Each structure stands twice: as structure tokens, then as C-alpha cells.
Amino acid sequence: MCGIIGCIGRGSDTLDTLVHGLEKLEYRGYDSAGVGLLDTEIVVCKAAGEISELRKKLEGQSIAGRAGIGHTRWSTHGPPTDANAHPHSDCTGEVVVVHNGIIENYQELRDELEAKGHTFTSDTDTEVVAHLMEERITEGESPERAFRGTVQRLEGSYAIAALVEGEEGLFAARNDSPLVVGLGDGADLDGDGGQFFLASDVPAFRDFTDRVIYLEDGEFARLDGGLKVTTSEGELVSKAVHTVEWDAEETGKSGYDHFMLKEIHEQPRALRQCLRGRVEEQTATVDIGDIADLNPSGVQFVACGTSYHAAMYGAQLIRNAGVPAQAFLASEYATAPPPLQDDLVVGISQSGETADTLSALREASGRGGETFTLTNTVGSTMDRECDHTLFIYSGPEIGVAATKTFAGQLTALNLLSLATVESGRQRRAVVPALRELPGDVQRILDSSSAEEVAEYYEGSRSYFFIGRGYQYPVALEGALKLKEISYEHAEGFAAGELKHGPLALVDEDTPVFAMVVGDGEEASKTVGNIKEVEARGAPVVVVTDGQSDAERYADHVLEIPESHPRTAAVLGNVQLQLVAYHIANRLGRSIDKPRNLAKSVTVE
Ligand code: F6R
């Protein structure tokens, strides 16, 4: 996720403060960085790659500034290059901006600005902000009015900071993307002067102050040696000053003990980001651009680990729409490559770099296949090499165990399936459930009893997970999550498969987690399987929306809101993520960096 830092009142330390802030934001993940400093002129310096690359560019330059802004970029529009790094400038270089989030209507705004003669130098959505401000300032508006007017034209999510030449201080606004002001030495709300900071996240300035003001959606701030917060209509808003009690190390995790837990809790936001501008509930339409024109006669999914579980789910979606589809473990794909005909070969990968998945995609492409990647990482090798890309927009994931990106993959697979192979009737059934999904996940996070369940079963000999249909890949994922972070033995099974062998392992020391959704045939068959394990003395934890009578046979229940069976898979998985997390935490495991595992596996 991108990061923003800004400051005023730091005198000759302005540049150092910005770079220090960028380093503190590194944990969010980024692929380029830059700074803009306001003195008599605005000077911008930016570089693709790590902050050390930016430092190299800054070396030997004496860049002073009364105020400044800085940014770490996680690519969404255009690959990670110097030109696409923030800050972005207008045609004159007198307005510079940094931005987190996604501006949905940027193409329309860019077309309008280009028609008026503006020249763009990047592929980003952000650059329209600088040119829109330039347009208004040229028409005679004050920079403050121009900033407010510009922001009101933006659709989507944003945290924005801007500098304007000749103007004291910096401007900021937010919608659906966090922005916080820090009050440093000599700064207070009624005073004039002192040090002020602005950031997407407190760690960026935590070393300088613990006094913060959280900006809300729709608020505008001007930091110019004092602080003015207004509504979009320009009315003053009085703000409370909070004291942050976390130290700088903890703030990287926003108060969570682990990145994994933070990322589990980020899922509502990640899903909103994935769905934003892509689903329209009233008309039940799904808009994923040109990808919707694909009309595959079959789909072959290739992926590894958690992404393979998403692939299994995706293959079911496509098959249920009447189009042949199969999920392959990427590492096995080339050993007996399936005939291609006019199939689309879809590589699912959070990182977009996994060697096994890349190799399977290259193998298919070498045979003339049309390739597609569903990934979280703009500019990744898969994004560059595949014929088509669909981004999941989950934001960077720091914990080695995939959590929010699995939710993003399942959600994006629904978009892919609905837009390419499913009917209007199916869209009308699923789009409302997708719209509800972020809120439903939030309800689980707010009420889950997974921690008590973890406490009760911690120390069991083995943990089994069962599910049918869309819940089967979730059972596999629940087991993978638990084993990889707790180092305990866990297995996932298709619920109907237990009696064909694994039932021999079941006893009172093997809790069975059963996913039961709806009250149809699948649910009643899974309830039958629950009875089989119960009869062998196994404790049963049911993850359910309460529509069947599964709870009657359960020792513990983890509830999920009623939803469509497809979205219920995302919901049930949240409960299993929490169980895995709490068991591993109780066992004192290295949750964010489990032994022997890496976030990106670039060897076959
Ligand atoms: C498990 C996990 C791994 C990855 C796998 C593929 O929590 O994260 O199983 O899913 O290594 O990685 P990507 O999705 O980057 O291709």
C-alpha cells in the first residue's frame, strides 16, 4: 500500500524528516519512492526501487524546503518506474501531489485535460490531480479553492497531499484512505507556528511526536504553520487531539501484535478496494474492462499453495456456468500438459512472481495458449508477460501467510466468472452478495469466538477440516493456514471423502472443523459426515450460517452471516484464519515469518 509523509516547520531538517518518514513506511510494501520540497520553487526527486535508490539520487544535492511531501508507491496504474513514482506535477511544475488509493474516473478526467492541452508524463491516475489544480489556478482560483474543487471532482478512494509554489504550507484531503496530522514541537491547534506532520500512518512521524489528529472522510486540511481543517464546503471543523501510546515499532502493525492479524482485519477494506467501480448493484452489472470480451471455450487455472485453493474455487465457478474448467498445481502442469484448444490459461498469484506458476504460464504460452493472470502485484513478471491481467487490489501483504489476498482472489474470481461466462440471472443473484461482503466480513471480525475455540482445542494431535462444493477449497485453505503458522498437523478433505480412508485417523483428539452453508443437499450431506466423525468421538466445530441443523451436532459453532454460497466461502475462511492465528499465537510461533517459508517462492 502506498504511504504518505508531509511536514512543515522542520527548517533545515525537512528533507531528512521526509526520507526518515518514508523509511518508517517501508513495512507497508512499495516499489518506488519520492519527495517534493517547497522553497522559492518546488523541487521533486523520485526513483523506482528501494528508498536507497532515492537516497542515491538525493546525494550531493542541497535541497532545502520550508515544507515537503514524500511518498512510497505500490503500483496500481502503470509499472514501477521513475516516471510513475510520486510526487506528480502539473505542466508547469508549480503544483505537485502525492496520493494513496485509486481514482476511478481518472481516465475521463485525463481525456478532458488532454483535450485542453495538458501534457501527462506518467501512466498514473494521480497525475490528473495536479493538472486539475493547475487548470483552476490558471482560471484565477486561489490554491486552496482549486484544491478543494479538484478533490470534489474525484471518484474513488484517496488520501492526497499537495504543494503549490508561492503558497505557504501543504494541502490535504481524504476519502476512504487514512490520513493523520501530527502536532510536533511548538504546534498546537490555536497557535501559529511549530512543527506539523501529515502521514497516511502514524509510524511515519512517530519519532517526532505522539500528538495526533485523525482526519475523516470528506475533510480538508491546510498545514501552514497552523492547522485548519474544513468540510468540503469550507466550514471549519474542530478536531480533537489524541495521544498515541504505541511506540514506533508497534505502530507499523497499527497496534496489532502481528501483521497477519492486521491483514486479517484489513479484509473489509481490501474487498471494498477489489470491488470498487467494478460492480453495480442496481443493474447487477460487473465491469472489469476489456476482459469481459474474452469468451473462452475452457479455462485452465495454474497456481500454488493458497492461490491453488483459489484456483479450485475459480474452476468450480466456471464449470457451474457450463464452461469446462480445471485447476492444476502449477508445479505439476508441465508434466502432462492438457490440450489447449481455445482454453484460457489463468495463473493465480499474489506475488505474480512464483516460479512454478510462471513456468506453467510460459509453457502454455509457448504452445500458443492465451494467458491471463489474476494477481496483487502491478508490474510483476506475470503482469508483464501474460496477455491479460486482473488485479485484486488487496494492498501489500507482509505476513508470509496469505490472508487478505486469498479473500481478494475469491472475490476477483467471482468478477471474472460473472463478467465472462455467467448469465444476467447469476449476476443478479451474486452481485448483491458481493456488495455485502466487506460488511459481512467486518461483522465476523467484530464478533468471532475463534479465540475461545483456539484456546479449547490447542494441543490436539491433529486438526481436520471438511467442506463440499465452494467450501471444499476453504477446508483445504483452513488446514494449510493452521499448519504453516502453528507447525501443528492439519489436513483438509472433501467432506464426502473422509469415509474413504481418513476416517481411520479420527478420534477424540482430532477436532473436525466442518463448513456448512445453506440448507440444501450439500449442507445435509455434510451434516451426515459430521455425524460420522461424531460417532467416532471426534469433537466438531461447525462454521455455519445457521440455516441447517448442523449446530445440533457441534461442540462449538463459529457463525457467519447468511450469504450466497460463493461469498460464504470468503466468510467461513475468515473464521478459520482467526482459529489458525490464535492457535499459533498461543503456541508462541513466529507467525509473520513461519520457519522454512518465504513470501515469494522464486525457485521451482
Ligand atoms: C500460504 C501461502 C503460499 C502461497 C504460494 C503461492 O499462506 O502464502 O501457499 O499462496 O506460495 O504464492 P503466490 O500467490 O504469490 O503465487
Is the peptide bond preceding residue 339 cis, with omega within 30 degrees of 0? no
Ligand 1 centroid – CA 403 distance (Å):
10
Q: Which of 154, 20, 18, 164 is nearest to 99 (CA)?
A: 154
What pLDDT is attached to residue 248? Answer: 55
DSSP type of residue 437 = H
Ligand 1 atom 16: residue of nearest CA: 349
Residues sharing a CB contact under 8 Å with residue 339, sequence separation 6 or more, in sequence order: none
Residue type, 347: G
Please tell me which residue, 600 or 316, carries the higher pLDDT value: 316
* Nearest Cα residue to 381 out of 152, 132, 600, 153: 600
- Work out the number of other CB atoms within 10 angstroms of the CB of residue 352: 26
Residues with active-site annotation: 2, 599
pLDDT digits (tens, 9 = 90+) for 132-156: 999 999 999 999 999 999 999 999 8
Grid cell for residue 79: 509499472
Q: Are 506 and 497 in contact (CB under 8 A)?
A: no
Distance 528 CA to ligand 1 centre (A): 33
What the block records as the C-alpha cell of 555 is 461442540
Within 10 Å of residue 595's Cβ, how many Cβ atoms? 9
pLDDT mean over 367-371: 96
Give the closest residue (by CA) to ligand 1 atom 10: 306
Per-residue model confidence as pLDDT tens digits over 258-285: 999 999 999 999 999 999 999 998 999 9
- Residue 475 CA to ligand 1 center (angstroms) comes to 16
Collapse the DSSP code of 175 into the 3-class scheme (helix H, G, I; strand E, B; otherwise coil) and give the result. Answer: strand
* Alpha carbon distance 440, 49 (integer Å): 37
* 578-584 mean pLDDT: 98
Residue 459 DSSP SS3: coil
* Residue-wise pLDDT tens digits, 41-76: 999 999 999 899 999 999 988 888 999 999 999 888
Cell of 58: 538525493
Protein residue whose Cα sits closest to atom 7 of ligand 1: 401
Pocket perturbation via mutation, ligand 1, pick of 601, 602, 603, 604 by most ligand atoms within 8 A of CB: 601
Distance in angstroms (rounded) separating the CA atoms of residues 482 and 576: 8
The Cα–Cα gap between 246 and 265 comes to: 18
- Interval between CA 478 and ligand 1 midpoint (Å): 14
3-state secondary structure of 118: coil
d(CA 114, CA 477): 47
Residues contacting 277, CB < 8 A, separation 6+: 102, 104, 155, 156, 287
Ligand 1 pocket residues where CB is under 6 Å: 304-307, 349-351, 354, 357, 401-402, 480, 484, 600-601
**Which residue has its alpha carbon closest to ligand 1 atom 13?**
349
User: Counting atoms of ligand 1 from 1, which one is nearest the CA of 351?
Assistant: 15
Residue 1: pLDDT band (50, 70, 90) is: low
- Which cell goes with 374? 489474476
**φ, ψ dihedrals at 252, nearest 5°:** -55, -30
pLDDT of residue 251: 58
* Whole-number average pLDDT of the chain: 94
Distance from the CA of 405 to the center of ligand 1, in angstroms? 9
| Residue 573: pLDDT band with limits 50, 70, 90 | very high
What angle in degrees, to the nearest 10, is found between the helix axes of 51-58 and 14-24?
A: 160
pLDDT digits (tens, 9 = 90+) for 531-547: 999 999 999 999 999 99
Is the bond preceding residue 396 a cis peptide, omega within 30 degrees?
no
CB 519 within 8 A of CB 548: yes
Q: Given ligand 1 and candidates 259, 260, 306, which is best to mutate, with the most ligand atoms within 8 Å of its CB?
A: 306
Instruction: Give me ligand 1 centre to Cα 573, in Å.
Output: 16
The span from the CA of 23 to the CA of 180, in Å, is 17
Phi and psi at residue 566, to the nearest 5°: -70, -45
Longest dimension (CA), the chain: 80
- Indicate which atom in ligand 1 lies nearest the CA of residue 357: 16
Is a pLDDT exceeding 80 seen at residue 304? yes
pLDDT digits (tens, 9 = 90+) for 155-192: 988 999 999 999 989 999 999 788 999 999 999 887 77
Residue to probe by mutation, ligand 1, list 351, 375, 376, 398, most atoms within 8 Å of CB: 351
What residue's CA is closest to ligand 1, atom 9?
Answer: 305
pTM exceeding 0.85: no
Residue type for 445, please?
L
45 near 57, Cβ under 8 Å? yes
Scored b (16 or more CB within 10 A) or e, 458-479 reads bebebbbbbbbbbbbbbbbbbb
**Residue 15 pLDDT more than 80?**
yes
The x, y and z cell numbers of residue 570, run together, are 470468503
